[in-house]
Amino acid sequence: MKAVKQKEKKNYTRILNKSLKIFFSTAWRITLSHPSQAYFFFRTVRWQMKAAKRRGEIGKEGIHVPAIIIYSITDRCNLSCKGCYAQALHTSTESEMNADKMRETIREARGLGVSFMVLAGGEPFVRREILDIIGNFKDVIFFVFTNGTLIDGELADRIKRIHNLVPIISLEGNRLETDSRRGSGIFRSLSEVIGRLQKRHIFFGTSVTVTSSNFDIVEDGQFVRDMHRSGCRLFFFVEYTPIDSTTEAWEITDNQRRALSGLMESFRARFPALFISVPEDEKDFGGCLSAGRGFVHISAQGNIEPCPFVPYSDTNLRESSLKEALKSNFLAAVRENSDRLEEGKGGCALWNKREWLNAILAEKKHTADVKEQ
């Protein structure tokens, strides 16, 4: 059985590495009309291949390095969006890691073979120092998931000069859907921001949280068409996961979930752009990619967690190097039982199995305490 699991591990790792190569190769092809963008993505393909080789070398030491790190660099945000999981789950009173520690963490991640990082929050651009940090690691690509409202002309000019920063603007669809969740006037503000990005030929994307109420907007395709005309070349469609009973009605239905898969294929055929559906696309890798199978999450306070949706951790970067933190017994236990995360009615599989995760974490902490005694 152990040999079978090891074979499965190698398979999904190989598939993920190949998928990243294809992803950035596609980005290169769709940006050929903008030579500087195309050249950057051409180099990114080479960096991803080099990083994958490095991860394989570290893996021989018994350390599982994920291809992607999601780093929530702050819990602060200038908006109060309805149903926001970050505001509901990330309520720590501990201080955020400072700029020096963030830089040290990213430097170590790069040395371990991570060349793809997702920066989230809160609102990442609350911490403007992150721009200087990103600029110091030109062989790492950073997807910055942002509400977009802080991208004024000055910030857009800075982003233009940092080719390895890709802003991902969060929208809920059109004016009605976006303003009802994010606040009055936000859609108009973001339309201006998108105009700034397009004017400067900045490669950018959008992230849409798919709910039962905005599914018709996604399905219609006009939103995608309008965004593509506005210069957007990367689309994330993320199924909404209810975090409390007040938003359970937002979850898409089983029929909508089945339709979403077909929509992605249709969009990929119709538009020269990149389309990612979460968690739908994870099925290609045998289920949930959290806990290091494909990514891990670093909280603003430095906790190493399986996923942004499950703030459970047995390791903190203030007390450990990233290399040591990736040896976490908790993360290993989740990976070894990833087959339990393949099924679910939708949304985040880990969130739906949070009681199971809590039990694993308690067991690992108890075992560690016994060893110390």
Name residue, tokens 């509901």. Answer: 88
Interval 123-128 mean pLDDT:
97
List the alpha helices (DSSP H) in the chain.
2-30, 35-59, 85-89, 99-112, 129-135, 153-161, 175-182, 186-199, 215-220, 222-229, 254-270, 322-325, 329-336, 349-352, 354-372
pLDDT in tens, 169-179: 999 999 999 99
Q: Most confidently modeled of 75-84, 86-95, 104-113, 345-354?
A: 104-113
**Residue 220 pLDDT greater than 50, yes or no:** yes
In the predicted structure, residue 78 carries a pLDDT above the cut 80? yes
239's enclosing H/E stretch is strand 234-239
Place of tokens 């389309």: 275
Residue 328 is predicted with a pLDDT of 92
Region 345-352: mean pLDDT is 73
Query: Given this model, what pLDDT does residue 171 score?
Result: 96
Domains of the chain: 64-372 (3.20.20.70)
Does 303 have pLDDT greater than 80? yes
pLDDT band at 247 (very low <50, low <70, confident <90, very high): confident
Task: Please indicate whether residue 87 or residue 169 has the higher confidence score (pLDDT).
Answer: 169
- Give 349's pLDDT tier (boundaries 50, 70, 90): confident
For tokens 């910055």, name the residue: 144
Mean pLDDT, the chain, integer: 90
- Please tell me the predicted confidence (pLDDT) of residue 45: 96
Per-residue pLDDT reduced to its tens digit, 28-45: 999 999 999 999 999 999
Burial of 36 per CB tally in 10 Å (0-12, 13-18, 19+): exposed
Average pLDDT over residues 112-119: 97
Phi, psi of 316 (to 5 degrees): -130, 140
Share of the chain above pLDDT 70, in %: 92
pLDDT value at 242 more than 90: no
Quickly state the pLDDT bin for 243 (edges 50, 70, 90).
confident
Q: How far apart are CA 312 and CA 187, in angstroms?
A: 34
Q: How do 68-72 and 295-298 pair as beta strands?
A: parallel
> At residue 241, does pLDDT exceed 60?
yes
How much is the pLDDT for 371? 60
| pLDDT band with cut points at 50, 70 and 90 for residue 372 | low
